[in-house]
């Protein structure tokens, strides 16, 4: 098992903690991390997850030992997890993850991808073709849907955009950003321009 302790230094609070418990208690899928339990005593708030022994995808992007077939398997797993959250069958409320990135994709021993970290997630209405929510800025620089960043209109396509950035990371074998001299340099626009030229 793995343990995640609430750290208020990083802006985490009770709403994110409770949202993680609620979502992972109601939504179960082989490509979502499983919640095994939690502790909520006074100021101590801890989530207990299944162990994803290989850690997060961002740590494996440049691994030359990760084959193309394994990379495809991981990407398909993420797509299945997202499809379940977005619920094309209309059997439960739609979940918009809002922070799809390689650091939030965990891998188990067999390299099964598991979406994790649901603290920023939003719930949309069920049984509708589209869910549109107006909300404050969410997500991580480089992965955020530009349309969302300008309109604050959140849709399942916002998650799909972020997943597309992860696909580029897997293809390019590197993160979509780098830290240099205390600044974050994002490569997504450069990747888009390279694709448009070809």
DSSP secondary structure of 56-115: EGGGTTT-TTS-HHHHHHHHHHHHHHHHHHH-TT-SS-EEE-S---GGGEEE-TT--EEE
Write the pLDDT tens digit of every residue in 32-80. 999 999 988 877 888 899 999 999 999 999 999 999 999 999 999 999 9
Active site members: 99
The predicted pLDDT at position 114 comes to: 97
Residue 13: is its pLDDT beyond 80? Answer: no
The predicted pLDDT at position 6 comes to: 74
CATH topology of domain 54-197: Transferase(Phosphotransferase); domain 1 (1.10.510)
The predicted pLDDT at position 153 comes to: 80
Residue 103: is its pLDDT beyond 90? Answer: yes
Residue 7: is its pLDDT beyond 90? Answer: no
The predicted pLDDT at position 149 comes to: 81
The predicted pLDDT at position 161 comes to: 94
Residue 83: is its pLDDT beyond 90? Answer: yes
Mapped onto helix, strand or coil, the DSSP state of residue 123 is strand
The predicted pLDDT at position 190 comes to: 75
Write the pLDDT tens digit of every residue in 130-189. 555 555 656 788 898 888 888 878 888 999 999 999 999 999 999 998 888 888 888 887
The predicted pLDDT at position 151 comes to: 81
More confident position, 5 or 9: 5
Dihedral, CA of residue 167, residue 172, residue 175 and residue 176, to nearest 10: -70
Cβ neighbour number for residue 114 with a 10 Å cutoff: 23
Residues in the chain: 198
Strand 133-134 with 153-154, pairing: antiparallel
More confident position, 133 or 124: 124
The predicted pLDDT at position 128 comes to: 59
The predicted pLDDT at position 139 comes to: 76
Instruction: Give the CA angle between residues 110, 114, 115 to the nearest 5°.
Output: 165
């Amino acid at each position: 098992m793995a343990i995640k302790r609430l750290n208020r230094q990083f802006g985490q609070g009770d709403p994110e903690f409770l949202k993680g418990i609620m979502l992972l208690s109601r939504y179960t899928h082989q490509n979502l991390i499983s919640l095994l339990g939690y502790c909520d005593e006074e100021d101590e708030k801890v989530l207990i997850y299944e162990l994803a022994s290989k850690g997060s995808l961002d740590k494996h992007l440049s691994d030359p030992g990760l084959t193309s077939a394994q990379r495809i398997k991981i990407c398909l797993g993420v797509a299945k997890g997202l499809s379940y959250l977005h619920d094309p069958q209309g059997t439960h409320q739609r979940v918009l993850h809002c922070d799809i990135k390689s650091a939030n994709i965990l891998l188990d021993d067999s390299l099964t991808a598991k979406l994790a970290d649901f603290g920023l997630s939003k719930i949309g209405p069920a049984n509708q073709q589209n869910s549109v929510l107006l909300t404050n800025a969410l997500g991580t620089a480089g992965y955020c849907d530009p349309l969302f960043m300008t309109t604050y209109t959140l849709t399942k396509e916002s998650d799909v955009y972020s997943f597309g950035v992860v696909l580029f990371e897997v293809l390019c074998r590197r993160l979509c950003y780098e830290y240099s001299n205390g600044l974050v340099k994002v490569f997504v626009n450069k990747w888009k321009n390279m694709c448009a030229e070809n």
